[in-house]
Structure formats: structure tokens, C-alpha cells
Structure 1
């Protein structure tokens, strides 16, 4: 129920409990559940179950070969010590608007699997994140897994964030994927940004306007311009104007890196 919290790694929930930010009546530790599945790496997706540690996925050669951008994003998550205990599903459940994994899951078009006594259901990342620390998970549900799509060959990836120091919250961040056809035309593109609003956001890159064409400087300017009207926030870390400027820089950098094949390729 709403007065219950699930704990797996506790790298975020633990400090929140200490500071009385959350005060659940019941705390359920799932670490002793023995029949939860292990991480699997398939041809179409990487499945990370409820107890998959961030370090485990970060150090997985199979996961890195299938989806190199996942390792790249995980290298920015917290620190080595926190990744040892922190879980993939825990980060998704927390839904920090500056966090790396929700941003990447949204950009890749991944999904979240939930279970309760009554049913199991799967929600796409675009519908799962609903605001700062707010998701579509119901109080009686447990996140039992997160699926990361492994996109087709010729796909290039990018992930980068701007922080004051490594491990600190992102002022702005960018994840991207780009797939080109044999003749160099854009077959598919998705760019997500985070740290700028109450949740990660996909750029409005409508099919037909940004795909089916060979990318040039005019096309790149249009991609960067699609972030012009995003809901940038002001807070103690940065102004909306600064976030807008840095986000445009990261978007331009992401596309140039992928076009020049210096992004994380798949």
C-alpha cells in the first residue's frame, strides 16, 4: 500500500529514510527472495530483474557488447561504491528527473514490468515517468524488471551529462540513438534530455521531418532547434537560460559524434 516501501539496494531510499523525507510504516526488503530471475542478454533486449545491481550490469561484457551505451550511462551513475549495491530497477522506481537510467530507458524506448497479487503489466518508459519522483507504479506493485531494447545494426549511440563534479546531479544531460541506411540517410533518430525539467523528455523529432533524408547542417540546426520550447526550470543549481544553452550544446555534440562514428556504436 501507500505506507509501504520496497528496498533492494537502498542507495537512495536509505538516505531519504535517514532525513525523514519518507516515513513508511512498513519497509519490505526483497534481497532474500531467491526465485527472482537473473539478468538476460538477448538479441532484441537486455532484461534487468528487480535485484540486478548497477555494478553487475556495468561490468557485464555481454551487456556492453549488445548495448554499449548502457555501460556508458552507468559509468555516470553515482560512484563505484553505490553502484555495488544500487539496483537498476531502484533507479527507475525512484524517477529522479536528473538521473541517467530513466533518461536512457526513455530514449531507447524501453519498458518497465510490474507485478502485484492481482496482475502483471508492462508500461513503456514514455508513460511510466510522470513527474519528479513520480511514476505510473501503483502502491501495491513491485517493479520486477526493466527491458532495454537492443536496436538494429548500424545504430549509433551517445550519452553525456554536464555536472559540477563526477557523481553529482546533472544540470543537463543527453542520450541519443541514430540509425543510418546504407546510403547515409537517417532511418531512425531519438534524442532525450534530462536535468532540465521534472522528468526526462524526448525531443519532438517527428518522423518524416527528420528521417528519410541525408543529414546536413540545416538538418542539424533543425534537430537542435527542436529543443527550443522545452520546459526548462530554474533552481539553485542552474538557471533555465543556462540549461537551455547547455542542452543545445549537448544535442549538437551528440549528433555530430554519432555522424562521425565517435558515439557508442551497436
Structure 2
């Protein structure tokens, strides 16, 4: 017969947490060490749920707690179950509606204004669900690249719960959102009890699952640069099965001048190193007319510079060939998109 003390309905657990006061000095802490019959796969941790950003930052500032932020949990919870992460406490921020903003940037922040005249940004709060951004990005041409990349992220079920901020803070080098954030030249807004700071995407990703977020800090929102009307965009990815992590992913933006020479190009690669990469070699295309042979030559130069490793998914030679094809392909797709937009602008 089952011991009734060990049968804990999820609704009971939720009600118990929901009935607790939410002020910081009386914050609800569900201690799994003391819960009856709690033989959990994760190691024991304290659960803290807050209602305001100030409360959350105060919890993170408490060095004794060593709290880990819980948003969508699509990456963190599996790591807890496998004990790859063993935090002393989980800080649930899902009630912080201020972190769920999504829309054009209303104020001109000094740090992002330096990106040039006419630059426009999409403000995405850290708690915005991936599915929410995917649907929003479908509505406007300038955000189409974001929509395309998000369709490759996991499955619809995981995107319904997973957050944009969580994916960026997790910093998996094979994930689509970090690659796109880097390619578009995004800006991360990080806050703590000490104040707020801005970190460019190029400096945000530092190593495997490691970002510029320091102890006591939290990613609160991100700013994604929106392409100008005649800027071409493309995203391509190769994976074994739907929902798998990419063996290789590539994102590209390209702008043509009135003479149809390449005026600006930016190419990012994911799945090849400990962070997503920006490819410097594509700058050689600036000032030139498009040519497939030139793109293939640049792709060859890139793969000759990079190191490719063998693993259970593919050999190094396979990855090298895949990278060469995918780089040339995404460059061509971005050029064709830019050309189509240029023609459309001329018609109007």
C-alpha cells in the first residue's frame, strides 16, 4: 500500500507556494530537503518566488543563497535532473511581468545609439517566450529572420515555455538564438543591485555555457538590431532530425548599394566552437559585385582557418565539407533576398 505521506499532488505543492507571502523579508521558500517523501532526481534546493525585480536582484545579491534563475526551465530542469547543475536555490522570476515586454524600442539608449543613424531595435524582455517572439516576428518583414530561426528551436511545446532570455543566458554554442543575437549585433541589458549595464553580443558569449553575466546579475532584456528595408537576410541549419541541435547553423545579413555592390555583410556560424562565431573573411566582399565563385572561395578560406572535431554525430571531414557548402549557400540566399528587396523598393 502507498504511504499517503509520500503522495504529494502537484496542485497541493502549487497551492502551498501560492499562499506564502511574497515580500522579500517573508519570501516563500519551499525546502525540498524537508518535504515528506521527496526523493527527487535533482539534488536538494531551496525554491524562492518573487513578485518584483528588486526582490529578485536582492536574492541574487545574497552570496549565501547562490541562487540560479528559473524562467522557462527548458534547459535548466534537465540539467538539474542529471545533476549537471546543483544550485542551493532556484529563483523563480515568472511573475515579473516587467520582463515580458516585446516591441520596438521606445527610448534611445546611449549604448546602442552608437550603431549608426537610422538603426532600429526590437526590445525583447528576458521572460518573453520563444513561441511568442516567433509569432510576433512573423508579422513584420524586418523580423522575418528571427521568425525563421525560431522555427528551428526545439519543438513547439518547448518554445511555448522556453524564454528568449533563458536561451541566451544558457549560451549553448549550438543553439539558434545565441547565433542570431550575435549575427544581428544585439545588445544585452544586465541588471543587479549595483545598477544596469549594456553588453554587446560580441562580448556577451565568452565560452561553453558561459556569458558576461556575473554573480549577482541577471539578464533583464535584449535589444535586437532590425535590418534596414533593403538588407537581405538568411538563416540555414543542418541537423539530423527535427528538434535536434544543429550540426552547423549559419545566419547572414547583407546590404547592397545602389550599384548593387555589397555595401555591408555579416555572417555568423553556430555549432563549430565554444561560442557562436562571426566570420571576418566575408568583409572581403564589401565593395564587390556578387559572384558565386567569390563566395565559394571565401567559404573555402573560412573552413581552412577553422578546426573541426570528430564526435558521435559526424567526422571532422564531414563537418568541413558541410561548413563549406552551408557558408556559400547562406551568403547566396542573403544576396538574393537583398536583390529582391532592392527591386521591390525601385518599383515603389
1:225 CA displacement: 2.6
1:54 to 1:13, Cα distance in 2 relative to 1, 3 A: same
1:150 CA displacement: 0.6
Number of residue pairs aligned between Structure 1 and Structure 2: 265
Is 2:128 the counterpart of 1:52? yes
Query: What is the Cα-based RMSD across aligned positions, in Å?
Result: 2.1
2:166 aligns with one of 90, 106, 109: 90
Deviates more, 1:150-159 or 1:71-80: 150-159
Is the Cα–Cα contact under 8 Å of residues 138 and 147 in structure 2 kept in the other structure? Answer: no
Q: Which runs of 5+ in 1 are unaligned?
A: none
1:255 aligns with one of 331, 334, 343: 331
2:219 equivalent in structure 1:
143
1:130 to 1:168, Cα distance in 2 relative to 1, 3 A: same
1:161 aligns with one of 237, 244, 247: 237
Mapping for residues 70-149 of structure 1, pairs under 5 Å: 70-149=146-225
1:149 to 1:264, Cα distance in 2 relative to 1, 3 A: farther
1:40-88 per-position Cα deviation (integer Å, ceiling 9, x unaligned): 1257011111210001000115764332100000000010000001000
2:260 equivalent in structure 1:
184
1:238 equivalent in structure 2:
314
1:221 equivalent in structure 2:
296
1:221 CA displacement: 2.8
Taking structure 2 as the reference length, what is the TM-score of the superposition?
0.72
1:196 equivalent in structure 2:
272
1:14 equivalent in structure 2:
77
1:27 equivalent in structure 2:
90
Provide the C-alpha distance between the structure 2 equivalents of 1:6 and 1:166, rounded to a whole number of angstroms: 28
1:18 CA displacement: 0.9
Provide the C-alpha distance between the structure 1 equivalents of 2:273 and 2:186, rounded to a whole number of angstroms: 20
Structure whose CA Rg is larger = 2
1:35 CA displacement: 3.3
Q: From the two aligned structures, give the one with the greater helix fraction.
A: 2
1:33 to 1:260, Cα distance in 2 relative to 1, 3 A: closer
Provide the C-alpha distance between the structure 1 equivalents of 2:338 and 2:229, rounded to a whole number of angstroms: 16
1:98-139 per-position Cα deviation (integer Å, ceiling 9, x unaligned): 000000111111111100000211111111111111111102
